Amino acid sequence: MMSLVAAAGLLASGLAGQIVPETLALPSVKTVDGGTFALGGRSATVLVFLTHQCPIANDYQPTLGRLAQDFAKDGVAVLGVHIDPTLSAADAKAHAKEYRISYALFVDREHKLVAQFRPKVTPEAVVIDGKGKVRYQGRINDLYPEIGVRRKEAKTQDLREAIAAVVAGKPVKTPRTDAVGCLIPDLKDFGS
């Protein structure tokens, strides 16, 4: 059995071509602040799978905050999905404060969203349109082109471009990209 710390320390690229249902039943989830976040009913919903122990996911927080702010006027909402089921709401709030996370957060204690969307690493983003169709899944940008390599600045803005396309009602140019980050362990491997 792998401990969370060991699992979070493992880094790997995401796998392109994983099968994700085209249309999903979009539930509501309870956020760490006690609110309700509906996963549908807006121009786009962005899910970002993350963990508080992943340095790559933490490094992307300013970028994710800007995206959430920039697209809020277009009816887009961002939900951070913590994949560590043992993370308390208080610790999730402390993490949000430390990294200035301003978007909604949810702890996926039963890995229901992990099972539904099948991300392989944190951070990995999913963009869902207003009809519940997954329009994009993958990296935020190419700041980390591979494990152990961080550029001074990203050359592509995959998530930003995908959100903009969905908001404009256009096809997403590249609907699937490889995310680079910390491996998401199986649910049974947490707390071991």
pLDDT, mean of residues 103-116: 93
C-alpha dihedral, 66 to 23 to 181 to 36, nearest 10°: 50
**Rounded CA separation 137/125 (Å):** 6
Neighbours of 46 (CB within 10 A): 24
CB contact set of 155 (below 8 Å; sequence gap of 6+): 141, 142
Is the Cβ–Cβ distance between 161 and 142 less than 8 Å?
Answer: no
Q: Output phi, psi for 33, to 5 deg.
A: -90, 5
- pLDDT band of residue 134 (cuts 50, 70, 90) is very high
High-pLDDT (> 70) share of the chain, % = 85
Instruction: Name the more confident of 20 and 45.
Output: 45
Using the predicted structure, report yes or no on whether residue 7 has a pLDDT greater than 80. Answer: no
**pLDDT band at 23; cut points 50, 70, 90:** low
- 132 pLDDT band, cuts 50/70/90, is confident
Q: What topology is assigned to 26-186 in CATH?
A: Glutaredoxin (3.40.30)
- From the list 73, 92, 72, 93, the residue with the least C-alpha distance to 84 is 92
Give residue 191's pLDDT.
65
Sorted by where each begins, the domain ranges of the chain are 26-186
| 3-class secondary structure per residue, 165-191 | HHHCCCCCCCCECCCEEEECCCHHHCC
Is the omega angle on the peptide bond into residue 123 within 30 degrees of 0, that is, cis?
yes
Q: How confident is the model at residue 15 (pLDDT cuts 50, 70, 90)?
A: very low
Structure tokens at 20: 């994700």
